[in-house]
Structure 1
Amino acid sequence: MVFDRISRWCVLALLVLALAGCGGGGGGGSDDDDDGNDGADPGEPNATLNADAGDDRDVVTGTTVTLDGSDSTVSDDASLEFAWRLVSTPDDSDAEIADGDTATPRFSADADGTYVAELTVADGRGNEATDRVTVTATSGNTRPSADAGADQAVKTGAEVTLDGTGSRDADGDDLSYRWAFVSQPSGSSASLDDANAATPAFVAEAAGDYTLSLVVNDGERDSREDRVTVTASTANSAPVADAGPDRNVSVNDTATLDGRGSSDADEDDLSYDWRIVSRPDDSAASLADPNDAQPSLTTDAVGDYIVELTVSDGQASDTDRATVSAGPVLVLSVDRGNPVDGSPDYTAIDANIFASQLTITEIPDGANTLGSLRVGRFRLEAVGQAYTIDDLRYEVVRSTSDGNEPDLSVDGLASGDTVVAGDSLAFATIAENIAVPGEYRFDFMFTVRETGEDYRLTFRVDLTDAD
């Protein structure tokens, strides 16, 4: 019995020592590791990073969905890095995100159901933030989308006009509107003049925040609720920045930004300060006149350029962003060089249609045909991607001569030719065995495989014997 009691005490003592050893091991690590980060750089502790994957939406199955993370922000001027992924898709979907490292990637909603996309933004210093957006695709009637408009700042006592005209229905159905006050300042009894109008109004009779909700209906389904906040104050009203709409341009084009939609309820003069938040990796683009209401941005690489506008009334400020998307382009130029020495001088043509009038009076004596005539010389330049020429063709559309129809050809260009990105290809349009005198119209045409665009080069030629 005594032996048993001694044994039990020994076992208990060993257990206490073992537990103390475990506890000591957990708290006895080196001082360098007590933060749990294993020495990792925690990044800038004062930088505030916010990911914004955009609003949930409803689309028609089969459409291409463009996501928008351009409202993501960082509290300093650090450049943002974007990483998107599809967290979940319908069971029978093969959807994949394209351009997932940009602010505005896209995917095809190829099946009915719910798609959840996750955005991770990073500032390159170890800080990250995430946000998610849900896209619901249906092949039947699609839920409409309510847009209650931008938040407003007004003076107390001002009449406020709300704007729900940005609401949309993917099926094109007519919409009805249903506005309601969610909250208003204490002591206010404001009411809407027409709660079922697209643009109702009310009087902000007391200082404070008025929050209103909008639901739209397409005849079958209600939208999700969208809200807008109107802030009324008797002191200085903060301005509202408006960087203008997003836009699409061809690479190397100049986009004129427009901040003139910015406003101040007190009608104070506004100052403008634009900056480029992000641009393609291989871009060196900058803003011209960044302190003007309408600065310009010349794109120099394919991709998205996110610009931010800050407006100030001298006391308060506000910011807004816009995206300029520069796409690849096939540039057609015409040679307007010296016809004497043959030196080329190519000038870009804005459109894919070109027309020219040629009048030739110096015809050799006694000649009844002109052997060969180069009616035009051109250059195709591929910027941002390669382009392939298809279905090169030409025809004599008009001829007043009684002689044989002229022979047409193209020197330097053929169906199936590819203009490599960053390269150019020069070609000439030729007419041969042209009867003199005569008036002619020659058309040279081709199609660009990647875009489906048709190019047409038209020449009106007047061959007149001066004698």
Structure 2
Amino acid sequence: MGSAAELSDEAGAQPTFTADLPGTYEADLVVNDGTADSGHDAVTIIATNPDPVAIAETEYHVLIGTTVMLDGSGSVPPTGGDTAQLVYNWYLQDLPAGSTASLAQTGTGLTSFYADMAGTYTAILTVDYQEKTSEPLTVTIVAGNANSKPVADAGGPYTIERGQTLTLDGTGSSDADNDQLSYRWYLMSPGHDAASAAIWIPNGSALTLDNGLQGYDTANPTLTPDVAGNWSAYLVVHDGTSISNLSSASITVTKPEGAENTPPVASFYSKPRVGFIAPVPTDEVELGSTVWSSGNSYDIDGTNISSSNRRYQWITTPAGYDAEDLTGKGSFSFTPTVEGQYTVEMTVNDGEADSDPARRTFIARTGANRAPSPRITVDSQTILVGEAGWFDGSESTDPDDNALTYHWHLLDKPDGSTAQLQFQNVTRTDGTVLNNARAGVVADQPGIYIVLLAVTDSHGVTSSLTSTYYGRVLAKSRNNPPVIGSINNDNDHLVNRRRNTHFNDSDQPYVIDDGSEPVLLYTQNAVDPDLDTLYYLWTLEQPAGSELPDASVDATFTVGKPLVAGNYTATAIVSDGIDTSEPHILNFKTVQRADYPSLLLEDYHSAGTVNSWDRVMQNGFATGMPGEAPRQRAFPYWDHADNSFPITSFQLVEGDNAIKNYRLTAFGSDYTVINVRTSAPRRSGTESFSAKFAGLTEGQVIQRGESIDFSLILTAPANADEVMGNVGPDPDLPEGSYDRGNALIGMTYTFEIAEKPGWTFEYAPSSR
């Protein structure tokens, strides 16, 4: 429970996943030969944890003005450890603009804070166990000012015997506003506006996506599984305004105790998981190409049908084909070298009984027909009641460029709805008309509308019916428009605040230079009060001769590197599909380096330092711009880098180590450096690290036209390994002690510019 692990490629031969929580993981494999699915084959992976693991709910949706409870008490110690010895560390890292929220306590499993502003709050949890510390866990809390997102809870896991009726339990679902909930259960996972989804009904079942769950629109639907194996059900709840995220429940179906053995069924074709269209597979295969077909046999008792219990024999092959002897082969493949019909017979065994034999005839020819594939795009994920939601299937494809017929099915609609599908044609640019390629539904009730799409080619061959392509829209009876707090290009909302390069300051314009970084524009606190999906539209006005992109629909607008000096204006709006926000405008200026008007700060990211983040920047992994040219930064400057790029004891030499190198260049006037300070954590009884600047002193004047280079120096003791290995806060020194993995944690380097109040420099890495 709580794991977010997922396969890297559900359609790949060798997918991977990250075991993010300790425990038991099970992966289920089904293969398809283009016509039919194989049986299921499962593998179990047990993940242990040598370090403690922070565990908490990672996503909350709440109303402004509520107290948010954060619970990390489910965290676990290293495998075999004592939970009572865990030490909890909470940190409220990011807040919406203007918020003064703070945590009630930080050293306990349970903590809370008051959500005083709309926007996103980010809390970080780590847990310590003796000398070990967990990886940080990020908890995101989104506060809205109109509606809180409901939370679905599908219950489970469930176990039941085949043929018995299971009652699922969604009564644990909740809504922070106490709104009445409507329930929708599915045997697939409709978590997007449009996508392909697996249908979690084992092969051999007579049930389909349409009829598998009785009372699917209640909190307690029932399922009577007719095949032993692994099933899954998914729950979405709706509060009249917003829909929840998906909640899944695993269902293990076992053979009834004492039941007699049921012979398996040999089949080259899997049963369809939908009932609105009959399957028509293609049996044509390409002449000269190897054909694999292990079949889609099954056993309702749950026995896995694999190569060890399959047998094949040839029935007929064309004259002139040298047929291989299939005796003893548990998998079947052949390469047709002669046009004609190839018929093979398969028998399977469950360890006790043989199946009836099944036959399949392959027709080999040049230019064999292949099955088409459906695809849906949604015009708008959110609509108002009385409006039409449209689903577009015109991007469906056929590998042989055959004409397609579109088969639409309205799988689900809200309680009380009598809506029916209507259709539109699509005319391509070449004049081809795609009949009924679009389907729409006029929403007559608030809630979820889901359509399915299958396609057939001009030979009548259908797309796969063991999975489905769906589209989903949410209809609302009223809507609150989204808002944008601000837009910027200084990256100050990122967790790793390394790149504050805000060019919307008239004194600090963007420098056109080989070492300059691309301009990236962001929205700050783009919030939809109803928590609807947001759509972005950026536009950019630019000087004559500039060839940057003039628009973007991404949340982050990657403008690129301006090459023309002048004034630029970026405008952003967001839409929830119904209403749009007020536009927000950001102006910035670009200049040649010689025309810079003030004090220019640049980061060398010098390759000679021990700082691994600088080496990443030098290689161009972060910016796509390798090279040693200094990169522009802006005041107020900060680097609150996290622990992702540590400086460990083995990287240090005894004495002075340059950990960062910078340059200051004065344009327009002289500038005075004041309040030059450094600090480092101390530990009584041991020789400790110290910090200092090189090349920068208190009261130093940087004269107009002058550049100075300065470094941040970490002075390491001879016993650096001992100091960093002795972790834990010093009770006599409130600032704490060294992080065992990063000598920079707790170091601070600061200064100010006398002529520019507010122009501060701060390098202060933090572990949290």
Specify the TM-score bucket, using the shorter chain as the normaliser.
0.3 to 0.5
Tell me the TM-score normalized by structure 1: 0.44
Q: Which of these two proteins has the greater Rg computed from alpha carbons?
A: 1
TM-score where L is the length of structure 2: 0.28
